[in-house]
Structure 1
């Protein structure tokens, strides 16, 4: 059978190439998405400034109560260590030195925005940094600059250097220049006392670099240190994991990349399996006459199935081998796009091992073999005397397995649609609306022959009326050959439906976010900086301006509201400790004196002016659900892991699905990773024009490097443009999935049309002209495109309508109409090109020769 299969492939180059392309592209896409997922799971970051420390101790980002490295919802801000942990680590056998390390955000150098960090001189040994000029810093006001930064700024030892720390300007004397062969970041090295003062986190440090004694195994040393610091909120890293301590953004990058890669991989795998399956199934349908003839010559059903399976296995094996290098390149290409758009940090190491390769090969091989088995099963079971007639008709498509699968997929899509519309609120509804689109697509594809028959019957008379005899012949073809029509329609439905759903899901979210921002912004001006850092004292400076009615800091973060649960039963029926149930909530840090004037959502109870100290203003629905009231106390765990009991001083009603709480900015800033104030909101007094306000604010903030002052409209536009991460991820996902579907569309239609050479020849032998055949195929292309677009629009609607109801109560998605028109126009154009071009090629042959050609 294998020999026969190989010989068959030699004489079916078109079908062989079509299967190879579908399998190859499917394997490449799945491998690339698998590489992204593996990169996110491993989250390896190469150490630079800490490269000389074989072991690094840093704060555990896991939620308290989880074992280290097991939490799926980690803390969002950097968790700091207690500085007394340095002595504990230093006493572990095998430790030559335990060096505390802190990172001070340097937001400006020489009156220009900068992205650099300051550290204590003692931590220079962790890179290591070596002096190449001058001397180490020994007193307050002295600094050592890395050689790259010193060359760029043109500074030498003995000169003065202005540096902004969290937006606050300082001046230092350059005592020396240091160089590292590994570190690439801009670094300022202060005396240890100066660094601690600028760090401004009393009793806390970022991490501990461990220098090992000669001959000590890093892995064993890491285990020993882990035992020593157990239950102290610390995480011990070695090898490639050390970079996470140096680049904490890798933690948030991991949290961004894993769901994105999971969505990529899940949808891409489903599309790959579906496209490969339908392509192979279509090719098997085209060979029904050949297989029927084999049955009449004595080939058994088992032999026929083994031949088909052997052919498919050979093609899949070849496609898998060809996809290995392009699969890795495709994964790295997507990784580069995500890095470029700041969705993930560039310090994360892209990794694509053998598991994604196996997944790509396995998914496409399974789809191909399953499709080949199902397609060959029916003809192999038909009696030899009936096989030829059955192969000619191609009308039966219903089977119990197909109907069961259709019921499951359509039922699952319906369930997700109901959950999206009735349970979900806000942008989170996209987590169920997106998968629903894929389930709708697969379910509709499974019943597409029946749907195509009804739609073709609906179009038969109007199309025939306008297109004449050739058009009526085309409609008869579509009505009789519903299985063939469905094979051509499915890729169009898939591309149209998924493109419309995925793109409009994102545009609807963008529009809702923009409305939410605009509704919540009452300020007339927004102050920011190119360095993304403003001095906190600027809030008071601006609030005292005669043109200003109020000014408020604006700081964002995330936290958890913790509900304390009653003690439960632990092991051996002993009473367990009191537990908490965390609920994630966004935080907005504001200034009490200016919050009422700058925030667009008025309080329902209480007053923003009471937001001082350990106080919080909660959304009314959160307050009601928790059974609390204004004046009660709630437990809040900040993004850096600290827990505080807060007093509820007010409530307000944010837009549906966009719940967030407000806290004092002075309490939130020290609990963020950088402690940087990025924005200040300013409200003008009555009668003050926007231009006068902007001019006054700009003048008062003129000493801040790169200060930017915009009005409310400009701030709204800037907010919409700045939220790129979700948009890039969604559009990239749409491009990958829809791109593959388009390739399948082109592949399927070209093969399906080229296979009809004998049919075209027969038409010409009985008197049809070349123009009449082309016109007939043009009508068929139009009908195919219309049916595919109608089904695709239905698939998109099944996802977008529930999402719109959950987002803002609208049944229509937000976004420009030209997106849908472009999708539809592209689908129509591709359909016409991929049908008419092979038709034109097939008509070049002489009718007599084409009629007898295989």
Structure 2
């Protein structure tokens, strides 16, 4: 039957074009997402600053916890920290005393801004870690001197204002290096000045260890203490670039979710495509059955066709997927979600896994769609081919009911999920399961829709009467068209409006919590905040530092705030407890986080700060605006020494002052009013939209393929209509009305699926079952679906109608 399938493909290339394109796109998506997934699992950033140091000693990059597995067994789990864990500077002396160590080099690192450009600041003693050498000038000696890298555009003798966490100061450039790092600008200060600017007395960010030339590799194990770890190879890059580690974790979740969703969508789409192809070939299959072909042979033929199409599409799609992987990486780098130096892992595994998954999906789709066709009796098949009817087999009805029940269960689960990490994958799965239920029950839905729309269609005289009659007689074809269009509407609305729901809720809560008259944008130093406090007319100043903490191994977004005048600038919506006297040892928790953690006012709470430092606090208040402010409010002085960038956003209560007075007090710092600050705090969902937009494009392609296949197969029908006197214009209007009817049914079902899913998502994430759906965006989604559907229907129809009716009948015969 495989040879027979090959001959069938040669003579029915158009019939399999839709399945081929769908499988091609699926293979490309799976391969591209597989590359992202593998990069998240095995990728790494090569060291730049630490390139010359064979061994780097720095703090442990993970927070660890022992988890009880039951039966007396336990397991240590680790989660990455968001900030560097610094180590005692005294550790350098112990390392230098280890046999085999030639020299050690300490370094501190801190953010610096000069001339509007971001740099990393270091002490000149750490220049040998790269190494940096002087092209001109000399090393810095005094506190007001610095050396700039070759890419800074500064010349020796220049004076430059530098903003650091310690404040703004004017420095004189006394040297320029011969080197510049690819992904970071570098400024070197005198050693004492660098330690002062870093603000971590007695600590260093890393220690480079250089073995003695010609000697054995030193064993540093006994010298390491206080959470210090020795790193070699690309592990040094992970220490240098903590954001690369966070990007890797995001790539694992994003690549896995996107690849899995792509494959599920592919199966759903290809099942519909093969089912439509089987319907179009029902007479042919009936004749095969009539000449003694067994159901197993028919299934073998259809499966062979699917395997051949899947193999070719999978191989070509895999090649395209490699390019897609590079494009996705470039898009993520441009959006700031992935550092430039995180290298994309290119291996044969995604390129081999994608065709295998595609072939498996094609085979499964063919087997599912061929079950009823292969078992039908020859006489019954010939009868149905002559006059197809929309009957819903019992097995399909039961499967549809089971999927609907699964959709209900997932919807209930989704409504109880309160974190994006948990709700994201479940949201897409819920929409898919509901769409599968719609696909299985599509014949019944099509029959009901035809009954409702027939009267309205007949109001359009000839074209409307023809459209109503065609929909009634071809309701099985309508059912095949409904599935991809419903999938396109449901997936698009779910992806887009889950983001708008979260963004609107966060902005609404941020606006409700804002009491400050002015906001100084981020990267404001402590010195600048103090300068604002001294401005006459300023009533309260609150410094806000955004970070994340872990309670156990669970990560929570948090904000650290200064307590004096807090309630004059910020209203988190306290529902129990109080923020009066909020300070050392206190923590305020959002209602959502309190529910997840099982804490109330007065409960103790142990957590790990950004660099892993442990803190034991007591809950002083529970508030309701967690989406706008983060899940935890922490004391500013507790958090500031434990983050890589301690610069802040500053909230100012000064009702009698204008923007100009504050700008004079802190030159070079952007001053926003309350409305501007709220708009600037809107979450950025571009990364998710880029990634999931591929799924939207895939479903759109699938919808176009199905409609084009359905229209192309009607050449005989359209030719007969022309022969009995129907004009070309009437035929096109008939097709337009049929397509618009299909779009209407699909829009209703797809909207219903997305609304049910979004309501559950919104209920869990925001507490309200009303998602935020901007009307213009929704109309754009439905309008785009209608435009694609009309184009996919009318373009093939115009090609078919160009031929003379008699010629079309002859060609079809």
Give TM-score, length-normalised by structure 2: 0.91
Equivalent residue, structure 1, for 2:537: 547
Distance 1:365 1:560, change over 3 A: same
Equivalent residue, structure 2, for 1:491: 484
Equivalent residue, structure 2, for 1:787: 745
Aligned with 1:757 (options 715, 727, 731): 715
Measure how far apart 1:140 and its partner are. 4.2
Measure how far apart 1:467 and its partner are. 2.2
Equivalent residue, structure 1, for 2:201: 202
Equivalent residue, structure 1, for 2:638: 667
Contact preservation (8 Å) 2:29, 2:324: yes
Contact preservation (8 Å) 2:314, 2:355: yes
Measure how far apart 1:541 and its partner are. 3.1
Measure how far apart 1:673 and its partner are. 1.4
Contact preservation (8 Å) 1:588, 1:661: yes
Equivalent residue, structure 1, for 2:350: 356
Q: Secondary structure at the match of 2:639?
A: helix
Are 1:475 and 2:454 an aligned pair? no
Q: Secondary structure at the match of 1:118?
A: strand
Measure how far apart 1:26 and its partner are. 1.3
Contact preservation (8 Å) 1:547, 1:696: no
**d(CA) in 2 for partners of 1:655, 1:138:** 48
Measure how far apart 1:282 and its partner are. 1.9
Measure how far apart 1:247 and its partner are. 1.4
**d(CA) in 2 for partners of 1:749, 1:507:** 30
Q: What is the RMSD of the two structures over their aligned residues, measured on CA atoms?
A: 3.1
User: 5+ residue gaps in structure 2?
Assistant: 68-74
Measure how far apart 1:273 and its partner are. 2.2
Equivalent residue, structure 1, for 2:258: 264
Contact preservation (8 Å) 1:437, 1:501: yes
Q: Secondary structure at the match of 2:707?
A: helix
Equivalent residue runs for 1:394-543 within 5 Å: 394-395=388-389, 398=392, 402-403=396-397, 405-422=399-416, 424=418, 429-430=423-424, 432-464=426-458, 466-528=459-521, 532-543=522-533
Aligned with 2:139 (options 136, 140, 143): 136
Equivalent residue, structure 2, for 1:714: 676
Are 1:33 and 2:33 an aligned pair? yes
Are 1:252 and 2:252 an aligned pair? no
Distance 1:412 1:356, change over 3 A: farther
Q: Secondary structure at the match of 2:307?
A: helix
Measure how far apart 1:662 and its partner are. 2.5
**d(CA) in 2 for partners of 1:454, 1:662:** 54
Measure how far apart 1:792 and its partner are. 0.9
**d(CA) in 1 for partners of 2:375, 2:575:** 72
Distance 1:70 1:747, change over 3 A: farther
Equivalent residue, structure 2, for 1:683: 653
Equivalent residue runs for 1:696-775 within 5 Å: 696-702=661-667, 706-720=668-682, 723-724=683-684, 727-775=685-733
Cα offsets for 1:548-602 (capped at 9, x unmatched): 22111111112234xxxxxxxxxxxxxxxxxxx5654433222222212111236
**d(CA) in 2 for partners of 1:24, 1:748:** 15
Measure how far apart 1:116 and its partner are. 0.8
Equivalent residue, structure 2, for 1:18: 18
Equivalent residue, structure 1, for 2:808: 850
Contact preservation (8 Å) 2:64, 2:77: no
Distance 1:167 1:289, change over 3 A: farther
Distance 1:400 1:670, change over 3 A: farther
Contact preservation (8 Å) 2:65, 2:553: no
Deviates more, 1:385-394 or 1:124-133: 385-394
**d(CA) in 2 for partners of 1:457, 1:816:** 32
**d(CA) in 1 for partners of 2:130, 2:627:** 49
Contact preservation (8 Å) 2:64, 2:76: no
User: 5+ residue gaps in structure 1?
Assistant: 562-580
Are 1:817 and 2:775 an aligned pair? yes
Cα offsets for 1:397-434 (capped at 9, x unmatched): 64566455434432232112112335548997555334
**d(CA) in 1 for partners of 2:233, 2:34:** 23
Deviates more, 1:479-488 or 1:745-754: 479-488
Cα offsets for 1:430-471 (capped at 9, x unmatched): 55334311221122112111111111112122222x123443
**d(CA) in 2 for partners of 1:238, 1:333:** 31
Q: Secondary structure at the match of 2:65?
A: coil
Distance 1:252 1:427, change over 3 A: closer
Q: How many residues align?
A: 805
Measure how far apart 1:373 and its partner are. 2.4
Aligned with 1:640 (options 585, 596, 611): 611
Q: Secondary structure at the match of 1:298?
A: coil
Q: Secondary structure at the match of 1:548?
A: coil
Equivalent residue, structure 2, for 1:65: 65
Contact preservation (8 Å) 1:657, 1:807: no
Equivalent residue, structure 2, for 1:309: 303
Contact preservation (8 Å) 1:640, 1:672: yes
Cα offsets for 1:771-791 (capped at 9, x unmatched): 333333222112211111111
Q: Secondary structure at the match of 2:119?
A: strand
**d(CA) in 2 for partners of 1:60, 1:513:** 34
Aligned with 2:370 (options 367, 376, 380): 376
Q: Secondary structure at the match of 1:78?
A: coil
Contact preservation (8 Å) 1:23, 1:319: yes
Distance 1:693 1:70, change over 3 A: farther
Contact preservation (8 Å) 1:425, 1:656: no
Distance 1:631 1:57, change over 3 A: same
Q: Secondary structure at the match of 2:51?
A: coil
Distance 1:425 1:16, change over 3 A: closer
Equivalent residue, structure 2, for 1:565: none
**d(CA) in 2 for partners of 1:505, 1:98:** 52
